[in-house]
Amino acid sequence: MKRRQFIATGAALTAALAQSKWLSALESDNKYRNEIGIQLYTLRNEIGKDVAGTLKAVAEAGYKQVEPYGFPGADDMIREAKANGMAVHSSHINTDGILKPDQKGVQPFEELLDKANDLGLTHVVVPYLGAELRGSLDQYKQVAERCNVAAEKAKRAGIQLAYHNHAFEFKPLEGGKCGYDVFVEQFSEDMKFEIDVFWVAVGGLDAADLIRKLSGRVTQLHLKDLDRSVTPPQYDGIPKEAFKELGNGVIPMEPILAAAADAGVSHCHVEQDHSPHPVKSIQQSADYLRSL
């Protein structure tokens, strides 16, 4: 076989194998599609007005699990989710006990873990870093150190701690290195990642590629779509209109789900930070996933 033919054949085989992985990731028994979750921050305004009615609407839209926010102050969301037959494996948490452990009046992280265990959570997530904690690589290193300490405590409690990204972690700092580079290098084996594919794209990276590079270190994903009007990378804020329902933007979900399967991701959660009609939006995203 001539070299040109060999290369062409090899490329075709690689493409075929990749396609087969995509297909297997999207089969009818695919766990990400059939056990799809939602990050309830999407519905924060509706929950503030009617938590019971909102969680009922989430269940009716076909979601099988929810990821609350603001834990340990998420009792109502967790109660209503379970009352509507949805699982609650993970929650975004108040991180003062991790990132500001010496601040007066802060609840010890161990107490938060005790409550998480009482409610049957298996994952807790650092959802955000304030600007005062991310101005330099040294600050990111300090965050990594404190997360590692907390992750060890969580492991002893039988709970997995992870970090949820935005776009600012990918902003180049000293020497062109970014905060996410620090986390990849310095997070211990006990500390994992919850990758938000939208913010990865806004930060100028390919989410499926990042998931594969961090195989074994990514426990959960946030699935959301990005409007085609946005030109990455952008690190310091984007318009509300940039957030789209799955299938209405430029982020391909098939290779992301395939990468998730290969990387051992446990759970996927739909999220849409801003929408003029959140309940309709989450229904549309669920319908899209079922159509794949």
Domain count, the chain: 1
DSSP state string for 3-31: HHHHHHHHHHHHHHHHHHHHHHHTSTT-H
Residue 216: its pLDDT value, please? 98
Q: What is the pLDDT of residues 250-271, one digit of tens each?
A: 999 999 999 999 999 999 999 9
Q: What is the pLDDT of residues 31-84, one digit of tens each?
A: 898 899 999 999 999 999 999 999 999 999 999 999 999 999 999 999 999 999
> What would the two tokens of residue 1 be?
């076989």
Q: Answer yes or no: is 15 within a domain.
A: no
Residue 237: its pLDDT value, please? 86
Q: Answer yes or no: is 254 within a domain.
A: yes
**Which residues constitute the domain of residue 283?**
20-291
Residue 28: its pLDDT value, please? 62
Which positions of the chain have pLDDT values less than 70? Answer: 1-29
Burial group, residue 56, by CB count within 10 angstroms (0-12, 13-18, 19+): middle
CATH number of residue 42's parent domain: 3.20.20.150
- Packed helices 75-83 and 51-60: angle between N→C axes, nearest 10 degrees: 40
Q: Is 0.85 surpassed by the pTM of this model?
A: yes
Residue 17: its pLDDT value, please? 40
